[in-house]
Amino acid sequence: MGTKRRLARSADRVRVRAWYGTGVAESDERAAPTVGQQALAYADTLYNLARYLTGNAADAQDLVQETFVRALAAAARFDGRNLKAWLFKILRNTYIDVYRKEQHHPTRGGLDTIHADVEGPIDADLLRDDLEIHQLRNVVAAEIEAALMALTEDARTVILLDLEGMSEVEVADVLGCAVGTVKSRLSRARMMLRRRLKHYAK
Amino acid sequence: MECGEVREQLLGYQRGQLSAEARAQVGAHLAECADCRRALDAETELSHVLERQLPRHAAPAALVQQLAERMSGAAAAPVTRSRRKRRWAPLAAALASAVAAAAAVLLVVRLTQPAFLRASLTTADLVSEGVNDHLRVVASAHPVEIESGGIHQVKPWFTGRLDFAPRVSFSGDDRFALAGGSIGYFRDRKAAVFVFKDRLHTISLFVFRADGLPWPTRGLQAVGPLAVDAAVSRGFNVLLWRDGELGYCLVSDVNRADLDALAIRIAASG
């Protein structure tokens, strides 16, 4: 590898560090990192969501790659306000475009229809069917992961976005729904999750 | 308020996000409804379970590397782009065109990129990286983020800050003192940085995920139980070795025999 090429690579590395905020003093060619470079700081967060949406590592990597490609192409349209929410929205839309179309696991969402986990009235069964707190205390990682994966994508997404610390307004932006809808979707999704856990954590 | 309505408010109630009026209404209902009180407990406990137990998946190092390459390749900086033109000469025209077109081309490029990157890295790059990172430790006003009170304080500190557990349990002795640890980078990936002191000399140990790096297979030397690649670069002694999924890089200006002595202690403790 030529010296110039190595120099270019080393400059890249300095930037990688700077994006991750681990404080290297060397100055960059530019003062402000581009949208794409700032987006790198969210690689782990985006991958985590992608992993739970797709259910496997290979699809998750492809989804994150495609998300970055689309983000790059749309960078000029980014309003500069909330990069994390913007990226999540692109990831989710990409998932719907690419993966839902070729859904290989039609039954992965369990026995419920697509929206059953997040829509509809909270019926009497669901009200009574909550699990006891001592059951929750004994839940292990594999059980909570399996229970989450058994939910529909919509339910999973709203739970994960909330877990990322996103506000209802941000979640509404990502999901493209009304702010008022987020609250009921989230509480219903969490109820469904507890119902699943009840079956796993006997 | 009906139970169904209350259940939708429980998370907000628990997080203190409700208006005073809604809070009072939910509170009044909870006082009378044991089912909803139980649901509130379950809601609270579910938050704990999700936060503590749900596995978080970190992006694989190779993916982050590819993304970093792509993001810098498509950066708008003229300096970077001129360098990139040389590197991606056949694609220069495409890269210079519209952003959308560039993104489409990059999609194709990404398929060939990992192999290209691996081929372009040499063991000498790893040695050079180790020295650069060591110099950063030495030059830093705060080389350690966690001061050492022994390895049992340093190691748990890494938990949650890395997507791997660095296997190091040498806690220092009369000869080499463990000064502390911090999070650093080794090339494209996060690294656990352990800082040791030998009298006035600083010794840096970087532990990182080993995948995707050009690990030497020839000319290795036996140091205790380890097969290390030993190099001298810019006056520093560098020892590189790999143990399963983890890579180790030990760098210092102490002499080779001293560095070997520390490597053996680290290997014996791992």
CA distance B80 to chain A (A): 8
Task: Please give the helix or strand (H or E) that residue B148 lies within, else none.
Answer: none
Residues whose CB falls within 8 Å of the CB of residue B133, separated by 6 or more in sequence, listed in order: B184, B185, B186, B191, B193, B204, B206, B249, B251
Instruction: Give the CATH number, domain containing residue B44.
Output: 1.10.10
The CATH class of A124-200 is mainly alpha
Which percentage of chain A shows pLDDT scores above 90? 32
pTM score of the predicted model: 0.53
For residue B96, CA distances in Å to A71, A146, B21, B104 come to 18, 46, 59, 13
Count of domains forming chain B: 3
User: DSSP 3-state assignment of B69?
Assistant: helix
For residue range B5-23, list pLDDT tens digits in order: 899 899 889 888 889 999 9
In chain A, CATH 1.10.10.10 covers 124-200
Tokens for B251?
């760098």
Residues whose CB falls within 8 Å of the CB of residue A35, separated by 6 or more in sequence, listed in order: A71, A72, A75, A78, A83
For residue range B124-163, list pLDDT tens digits in order: 888 988 988 898 888 776 677 777 766 777 777 888 788 8
Smallest CA-to-CA distance from B219 within B240, B249, B250 is with B240
For residue range A78-87, list pLDDT tens digits in order: 888 889 999 9
Contact A65 B67 (CB under 8 A): yes
Contact A72 B38 (CB under 8 A): no
Question: Rounded distance, CA B269 to CA B248, Å?
Answer: 14
Query: Quick one: B186 and B236 in the same domain?
Result: yes
Query: Quick one: B88 and B131 in the same domain?
Result: no
Residue-level pLDDT at A16: 39
Residue-level pLDDT at B149: 66
Tokens for A63?
């989804």
Q: Is B145 on the interface with A (CB under 8 A)?
A: no
Instruction: Find the closest chain A residue to B51 by CA distance.
Output: A163
Mutate to test the interface with A, among B2, B14, B44, B63 (most CBs of A within 10 A): B63
Query: Quick one: B101 and B209 in the same domain?
Result: no
Residue keyed to tokens 């495409």: B94
Chain A residues touching residue B64 (CB < 8 angstroms): 40, 43
Query: Quick one: B154 and B262 in the same domain?
Result: yes
For residue B26, CA distances in Å to A124, A186, A196 come to 19, 18, 26
How large is the average pLDDT for residues B89-99?
47
Residue-level pLDDT at B168: 85
Residue-level pLDDT at A127: 66
Chain A residues touching residue B187 (CB < 8 angstroms): 13
Tokens for B51?
């936060």
Query: Quick one: B161 and B244 in the same domain?
Result: yes
What ipTM was predicted for this assembly?
A: 0.74
For residue range B172-222, list pLDDT tens digits in order: 888 899 888 888 888 778 899 999 999 889 999 999 999 888 888 888 899
Report the helix count and the strand count for chain A, using DSSP H and E: 11, 0
Contact A22 B56 (CB under 8 A): no
For strand B146-147 and strand B236-243, is the pairing parallel, antiparallel, or unpaired?
unpaired
Question: Could you tell me how far CA A27 lies from the centroid of its own chain?
Answer: 33
- Residue B35's domain comprises 3-53
Neighbours of A16 (CB within 10 A): 24
Tokens for A77?
């349209």
Query: Quick one: B184 and B226 in the same domain?
Result: yes
CATH node for A3-100: 1.10.1740.10
Query: Quick one: B92 and B104 in the same domain?
Result: yes
User: DSSP 3-state assignment of B17?
Assistant: coil
Q: Among A8-22, A54-68, A152-166, A186-200, name the one with the lowest average pLDDT.
A: A8-22
Query: Quick one: B66 and B49 in the same domain?
Result: no
Query: Quick one: B148 and B211 in the same domain?
Result: yes
Question: Rounded distance, CA A101 to CA B3, Å?
Answer: 38
For residue range B39-62, list pLDDT tens digits in order: 898 888 888 888 877 887 888 888
For residue B169, CA distances in Å to A182, B149, B173 come to 47, 13, 12
Query: Quick one: B89 and B164 in the same domain?
Result: no
- Whether residue A50 has pLDDT greater than 90: yes
Q: What is the mean pLDDT of chain A?
A: 75
Question: Rounded distance, CA A82 to CA A171, Å?
Answer: 12
